[in-house]
Amino acid sequence: MTGWWRHIAALLLALAPLPGAAQELQPMEDRGDLLGWEAVGRVDLGDGFCTGVLIASDLVLTAAHCVYDRATGRAIPPRAIAFRAGYMNGSAIAERGIDRIVTLPDYSPRADGMIRGDMIRHDVALMRLDRPISSSEADPFRIHVDPRPGESVSVVSYGRGRAETLSWERDCKVLGEVPGLLAFDCNVTFGSSGAPVFVRYGTRSRILSLVSSMGPVAEDGPRSFGMQLPEAVTALKARMRAGDAPALRVGEGARRITVGGGRSGTGAKFVRP
């Protein structure tokens, strides 16, 4: 067991139930439900999907493991990916292609498609749209910089069995953190990879983290993991501006959830200490 996994295992054992159980997922079944959440969308990958979120008119955050092909172990070409903001039942508020993707230099996909603890903190990809989406269509979210244990968060995501509409878990909690990594009691599933974990900031929500992995379900509820974002996003923006080549390293990919229920891919991964 690596040092990182010792930290995570200790964290899981130490996490005590917090007052108030996480709420049920609330399906967003009509356009009115999407008001304010239009910047969250489905990242379509050909044979599967993840969840992504706009942080600028032309920039989308998602999980890095989403943009690697499990079958070939290679980076998925940007032209093969589409971002569909506010996607619902076959239509989107705005749909764009991708012209460039960058990941962090320390992200290294595993051959078995699992996301290990030492990779969760690097499991972020920044995608540039081929055309901006106007703020009148989808208003981008900002990054939150001050996570606090016990803080109430929410998750907006697609997932297995709910690929056609977003779902909103309105109230789950930050359970704790180790360097670069956050633990939540949010209920996520395959296909939720890259989904934004939001914290309320005044009258607007900000992105605290992205869903990277699922942990084993504890007696008091589910466990999920994400990364701390401020430094990662700053580094990714710098790489995007600098025009690094190659933007994505060839490596072993992670499986994604397949639309239609196949097993050529899965989204969020189970974490194995």
pLDDT at 260 over 60: no
pLDDT digits (tens, 9 = 90+) for 211-249: 998 766 555 556 889 999 999 999 999 999 987 545 555
73, 124, 200, 241, 252 from 249: Cα distances, Å: 10, 14, 35, 17, 10
CB 188 within 8 A of CB 215: no
Q: For residue 3, what is the DSSP state?
A: H
pLDDT at 266 over 60: no
Tokens of 104: 């962090």
Residue 206 has a pLDDT of 96
3-270 has which fold? Thrombin, subunit H (2.40.10)
Whether the model pTM is above 0.85: no
**Residue 134 CA neighbour count, 13 Å, CB half:** 2
DSSP secondary structure string for all residues of 137-180: T-PPPPBP----TT-EEEEEEEETTEEEEEEEEEEEEEEEEETT
Work out the pLDDT band at 131, boundaries 50, 70, 90. very high
Q: Domain limits of the chain?
A: 3-270
Residue 176 has a pLDDT of 85
